[in-house]
Structure formats: structure tokens, C-alpha cells
Structure 1
Amino acid sequence: MSRSANTTAVLYLLLCTFLWGASFPVGKHALSEVNALTLVMWRFSIASVCLYLYTKYKHMLPIPTLTPKQWTWAIGVSIIGVGGLNLGLFTGLEQTNANNGALIMALSPLVTSLIGSVAQRQFPTKGALFSLVVCLSGVLLVLTDGAFAKLLAFEFNHGDQMIFLGMLCWSLYTYLTQGISRWMPMIPYTLIGMLSGLGVISLMVWFSADVHPLQESVAISRSVFGDLMFIGVLGTVGGYLLWISGVKQLGAANASLFFNFVPVFAALTAFAYGQQVTGLQLLGMAIVIAGLLIPRLVKWQHQRLAVHKL
């Protein structure tokens, strides 16, 4: 594994997390002119077209022959994960701060590992439990505005609740996808996910009298049109392809550490957009990042000491 290849992978992952982090305040800005369902329709439509062209260019089509059970499983998991994430995320952003959303989503790798522990009936490691306690403390500090008494009354912002549900859907999707990837390439599978999500959101729009995607899209400003293109092309397709490249080179465990930069880049982008970034949010980010990194650093230190003793 060459140093230059590792450096390239690091740059890919940093760019990926920047695109993902920036999508929160960019999405928040776009929601000033379009409904959340309209935004999600744009995202799925743009991403589906881009991924289809990419899979054709890379000769990844047609999709391998699957059994009816496999098709049902792939589409069902995609609807829960991709559809659930986007529905929870963007409807939540209508009612909460972009930095809160990014902070909640930063819990996803940890929650995915905990889902794996439960599914495999294994007790989580001490490092995972430490991260869970510390990271949840950081997130709850922000969501309760430092008033932990709100926990007793479950007084959370409805937008935060929706994003938390979206994060749980995405974590479940990430875990279940590990099994699906054994019989379907990841990029065509992601294309199926985008098309499945588009179908579900389209049905929701059809039965929602207050949502008018065509009229909203015609009336949007150039800046919001740019927001929608950024989220669809760069924040979705570009970020995903960069993530895959980074994971292939560095491995999933090392790549997951870069997810910690998502709330940082979200805060920087929100500041550039003129959106509020509070000291409490910055403190919460620091606590979450510390909770995720400290067990890794301790593990690396133990491994180094073990190597030196040999």
C-alpha cells in the first residue's frame, strides 16, 4: 500500500466528508424556497440520472440476475434506509438547525456497530460503550440546550427527532447492506436505492395536497437551484464515489474515522451561509469527536506497544 495512494485516499475522504457536511446547511438554505419532499425528489432524480450514466460508463449494467426474494430484500432495505434517511433528514431540517442535524448523523457509524453487536448477540466492546456514553452526552448537550432536565419530559425539537429517526434508518441500512453486497455490486445497488426512494417520495407527494414540486421548481431562485444541484450531484453521487474509493484503500475501520469531520464541515459551511453556530454546538461537536477518537487512539497505542515488545 503506497504512501501516495494513502495520501490520495485521505484527500478523497476529506473531500467526501466536506461534501456531506456542507449538504446540511445547503439543504437548510434550499428549504427556504422548496418543501422537504420536493428537495428529496430533486436529490433522488439527479442522483439516479448521474448514477445510471456512471454505471453505463463503467459497464456495470445490466444488474446481475436476482431471485424474487433478493429483489424484495434489496428494494425493501433501500426504501427503509435511503428513503427513511432523506425523509427524516430534510423534513427535520425544516424545523431544526443544520449543525444539530450533522451532529446527530455523526452517531451513525457508532449506531451501526451497536446494531451489529445486537444482531450477532455479542456484548459491545468497552471502547464502543465508552463512545456511546460520551457521544450521546455531546449530542444531548446540544439538543437540550444544556438543560438535561428536558430529558425527563422528552422535550426534544421535532426536527431533531425526525433526523434521529433518519439516522437510525441509515444505520440499519448500512448494516444490512453488508449482506446484500455479497450478491450485488454496490453502485448498481445504490442506483436501485435511489430509484426506490424516488418511487416512495413520489407517492407521498401525490397524496400530499400541500406539496407542489413542479410549481415550486419553476419559482426557485438561481441560488436554490444551485443548492439542489450541489446536493444531488456532489453531496450524493460525488460523496458516495469518493467514499468508496477511500474505503477500498484505507479500509472501512480507518475510513469511518473521517466521518467525524462531517459536523465540523457542516459548522464551517453554516457559518459561511450566515446561519447561526453556537458555542454549545461547537462544544457538543468536540465531545462527540473525542468520544469517537479516544478508543481508537488507545487501541493504536496498545498495538504499538505490543509491536515494540516483540
Structure 2
Amino acid sequence: MKLDSTLKAIVLLIICTFFWGSCFPIGKHVLDEVNALTLVFWRFMIAAICLAVYLKVIRTPKPHLEFQQWIWVIFVSVIGVGGLNLCLFTGLTYTNATNGSLIMALSPLITSLIACIALRIPPSSSQCFSLLVSLTGVLIVITNGHLESLLSIRINYGDQLIFCGMLAWSIYTYCSQGISNWMPVLPYTFIGMLSGATVIGVMCLMSPEIHPFTELWSTTTLGIAEVVYIGMFGTVAGYLLWLNGVRQLGSANAALFFNLVPIFSVLTSFILGQEVTKIQLIGITVVIIGLLLPNIKRLKLQPKINSEA
């Protein structure tokens, strides 16, 4: 039973990272028609509306939490969901995509470090090796094999913002593991989407040049379809699958799969007509190997545990 749940969690995390990875080239295309804050606002508004309707249809009971628990859930959601997207998309206006991808690729490492510090447990040698292998693969994909280009990267204001967003996401991933023990995933995800829409909505109100409703109304049919895709698949489905994976595998192991995001981004770009080089395919293979390393031992040990039960 545990083996089945582990395999299911792995598959769901892979699907999740595909949705997120595909949002990068799709989002890049739609940003030619709408402002970044407009895109993020509608991303979370669509997600919040979809989840609200779904929760109403299935008649999900309201979680009975203490006041302190509600405050903690809302705080973590605002930091992790709103903070990540606000820092990420704002930062990308000051820096290039390569810098942003490299910084976000540090998320698994930072999440593992947060878990080790919080639990006062040093990372295992296999976990460290897996992180190193996966990060190497990500760097190969992003730099197209020219690792020396890392030496020319300069840290600017945009890089600092994206680093703050990456840190917020890492904290969200770790804290979500504990919250999922006493709060169902669906209501927790809904609060996250509502928090994200609120944070970005406030930012839109503070920016007179941004008009989310007017911009969406004046965009093309394809642009609207892309915004809906990002809202439904890249947000609703993505966050639900991610939180389920965190609950099953733990924050440190689930965070490893975040390395697949730039991989699926490259593959989606290829499907949309952009070229993918051989060295990038090698990098993709290295990332997959890095992800499999810590789970091979897990999968081998699970049957023994089940047989004893």
C-alpha cells in the first residue's frame, strides 16, 4: 500500500512540474499582450473561482481550526503563494530569464536546508548527492552546456527579488507539510489562491498603469485561452498535486521534483517550435537520474515493510 502511494505521489509530482514548466513559454507568449501583474492576478482569480465552485459542489465542510491555526495558514499562504509570484514576476522585469531560472533551481537545496535546520537532522549522503546531481543537470539545461557563463552572471535588484521569492516558496513547501496534517488539501489550496489574488490585486491597485479587466478584455482569444490554461492547470491542478506530493513524500523529497520545472519548460518550448540541443537533452537525463537516486532505495525497502505488516 505504501509502495502504491509513493509511486502515485511521484507521478502526481511529475504531472505538476509539467504544468508549471509549460507555463513558462506559454506565459512568455501571453506577456506580449498583458502586463505581468495582470497575468498573475487572473491566474489566481481563475484558480480561486474554480476551487470555490468545486468546494461548493462537493459540499466540503469548513475546516474547524483554532484562531492561531487560521492565522498561520493565511500567513504561510500569503508568503508562499503571493510572495513567490510577486517577487518572481517583478524581478523578471529587472533581470533575464537565465538568472531567474538559476535562482529558482536552488529551491530544492534551500528547502532541504530549512527542513534539516528545523528538525535538527543533518541531510543524508544520498540526499546531498541527489541534490548535487539534479542541480548539475539543471545548470546544463539552462546554460546549454556552457557552464562558464555562470561566472559572468551579475547579481542585480531583480536577482535579489527572485531569490526572496524562491526563499518564500521553500518556506511554503516546508510549512505545508505540517499544515497538511491537520487541514485538508483542497481548502488549504483555496486559501492559497485567494491569498495570492489578494496580494497581487493590492499591487494592481497601487499601480495606476495596470488595468487587469481592461487588458484581459482587449486581448486575443488565444491570449485568453493561455491565461485560462495557466489559471486552471498551472495553478489549481499544479498546487493541488504539489501539496499532495509534499504530504506523501515530505517537503525535502518533494522539493527535488522542482528541478523538473525548467526541463519541462525546455520541452514545451521545443513542442512550440523552439530548438532543443543535444547538450540540453543530456542535462534532462542527468536531472532524471538525480531524482531517481533517493527513491530507488525507498522503493526497494517498501515491499519489505509491507511484508512484515
TM-score surpassing 0.5? yes
Asked if the contact 1:143/1:156 (under 8 Å) is kept, the reply is no
Within a 5 Å distance, the mapping from 1:167-182 to structure 2 comes to: 167-182=166-181
Instruction: Kindly state the Cα deviation for residue 38 of structure 1 after the two structures are TM-superposed.
Output: 0.6
Aligned length: 301
CA distance in 2, matches of 1:121, 1:75: 26
How far residue 46 of structure 1 moved from its aligned partner, in angstroms, is 0.3
**Which amino acid is 1:223 matched to?**
L
After TM superposition, give the deviation of residue 164 of structure 1 in Å: 4.5
Task: Quote the residue 2:59 is aligned against.
Answer: 59
| Matching residue of 1:252 | 249
Compute the displacement of 1:278 (Å).
Answer: 4.8
In structure 2, the CA distance between the partners of 1:163 and 1:274, relative to structure 1 (3 Å rule), is farther
2:265 paired residue number: 266
Determine the C-alpha separation between the residues in 2 that align with 1:285 and 1:135.
9
The residue aligned with 1:43 is: 43
Q: Structure 1 length as normaliser, TM-score? A: 0.78
1:4/1:141 CA distance change after superposition, 3 Å = closer
For residues 277 and 163 of structure 2, the distance between their equivalents in structure 1, rounded to whole angstroms, comes to 20
Counterpart residue type for residue 53 of structure 2: L
Q: Is residue 24 of structure 1 aligned with residue 60 of structure 2?
A: no
The answer for unaligned runs of 5 or more in structure 1 is none
Q: What's the secondary structure of 1:19's corresponding residue?
A: helix
Q: Aligned partners of 1:121, 1:8: CA distance in 2, in Å? A: 29
Quick check: 1:79–1:197 contact (8 Å CA) kept in 2? yes
CA distance in 1, matches of 2:163, 2:34: 22
The answer to whether the 8 Å contact 1:143/1:160 transfers is no
Matches within 5 A, 1:1-310: 1=1, 12-67=12-67, 69-92=68-91, 96-97=96-97, 101=101, 105=104, 108-141=107-140, 146-148=146-148, 150-151=150-151, 155=154, 162-242=161-241, 251-252=248-249, 261-275=260-274, 277-279=276-278, 281-297=280-296, 299=297, 303=301
1:230-276 alpha-carbon deviations (Å, 9 max, x no partner): 0111221123445566778xx32687776554433322211122345
Contact 2:139 2:147 in 1 (8 A): no
Shift of the 122–256 alpha-carbon distance from structure 1 to 2, 3 Å rule, reads closer
Label 1:270 to 1:45 Cα distance change in 2 as closer, same or farther (>3 A).
same
3-state SS in 2 of match to 1:289 = helix
Report the TM-score when normalising by structure 2: 0.78
CA contact (8 A) 2:185 2:244 kept: no
Cα displacement string for residues 166-207 of structure 1 (whole angstroms, at most 9, x for unaligned residues): 332212101112222333222112211111111111111111
**In structure 1, how many angstroms separate the alpha carbons of the residues matched to 2:178 and 2:9?**
25
Letter in 1 for 2:249: A
Q: Is the 8 A contact 1:24 1:98 kept in 2?
A: no
Q: Compare 180-189 and 139-148 and name the one that shifted more.
A: 139-148
SS of the residue 1:62 aligns to = coil
Q: State the identity as a percent.
A: 51
Judging changes above 3 Å, is the alpha-carbon distance between structure 1 residues 188 and 229 closer, same or farther for their aligned structure 2 residues?
same
In 2, Cα distance between the equivalents of 1:190 and 1:239? 10
Rounded to whole Å, the distance in 1 between the matches of 2:279 and 2:209 is: 35
By how many angstroms is 1:218 displaced? Answer: 2.1
Q: Which amino acid aligns with 1:52?
A: A
- State the SS of the aligned residue for 2:199: helix
C-alpha distance in structure 2 between counterparts of 1:83 and 1:119, whole Å: 23
Partners of 1:98 and 1:266 within 8 A in 2? no
AA in 2 matched with 1:84: G
Structure 2 unaligned regions, length at least 5? none
Deviates more, 1:210-219 or 1:254-263: 254-263
Moved more, 154-163 or 130-139: 154-163
Q: CA deviation at 1:55?
A: 1.4
